[in-house]
Amino acid sequence: MAKPTAQHRDARLEEVMTGTTVFNVPFPADLSTLKGMSPLVIRFPYSVEYVHSYGQDSPFFAGLANRKLLGTRCAPCRYTYATPRLHCPACGRETDWTELPQEGRVHTFTTCYYGSEEFLKETPFHLILVEFDGVDTLLLARLIGVAGPEEIRIDMKVRAKFRRNSQLKTTDVYFVPT
């Protein structure tokens, strides 16, 4: 049998957030021993529903629902934002909505084998920053249709696809290799 490595020795079960319900705890007669007591740990659920407004970014999401990828353009600065912003940080003026190309290239990428709790069930998933011809900034999106990082290359061509049933989220657009 192979000798255990650091990786073997460090293996451990993941902590879970479930526990036993306790209705009573032991208590000493002598109060001076209380400082040696083990800490009491209780479960404390916390959930909240927001009414989240996309505000001035709303047209981007309406665009996705209509299979359009929208960015914004500052004409005086000749600068196009792939991830939209209604005001140009360089000159302070309001930008105009513009349609982006639906084909681009991978600027950089990763494959996530773990993730935040909300996305853990979707792992492994692939994140890319997409660059478009004639556009000055990038767009963060998912890449699908590849098995792993070995199938993704920087500068690889990708094409936008849209969910038919819009969720009104930025993930309504995703990319596949062309």
Q: Which spans of this chain sit near another protein (rule: CB under 8 A)?
A: 5-7, 14-17, 38-39, 41, 44, 46, 52, 54, 57, 81-83, 85, 89, 107-120, 122, 125, 127-129, 136-142, 148-149, 154, 169-171
| CB of residue 96 to another protein, shortest distance in Å | 17
Q: 65 or 127: whose CB is closer to another protein? A: 127
What would you report as the CA-atom Rg of the chain, rounded to the nearest whole angstrom? 25
| CB of residue 73 to another protein, shortest distance in Å | 14
Alpha-carbon gap, residue 87 to 84, rounded angstroms: 9
Q: 123 or 178: whose CB is closer to another protein? A: 123
SS (H, E, C) 35-55: HHCCCCCCCCCCCCCCCCCCH
- Write down the number of H helices and E strands in the chain: 3, 8
User: Which string of b and e fits 54-90 if b means at least 16 CB within 10 Å?
Assistant: eeeeeebbebbeeebbbbbbbeeeebbbbbbeeebee
Q: 167 or 178: whose CB is closer to another protein? A: 167
Q: 83 or 166: whose CB is closer to another protein? A: 83
User: What is the residue whose two structure tokens read 């665009």?
Assistant: 63
| CB of residue 33 to another protein, shortest distance in Å | 15
| CB of residue 105 to another protein, shortest distance in Å | 12
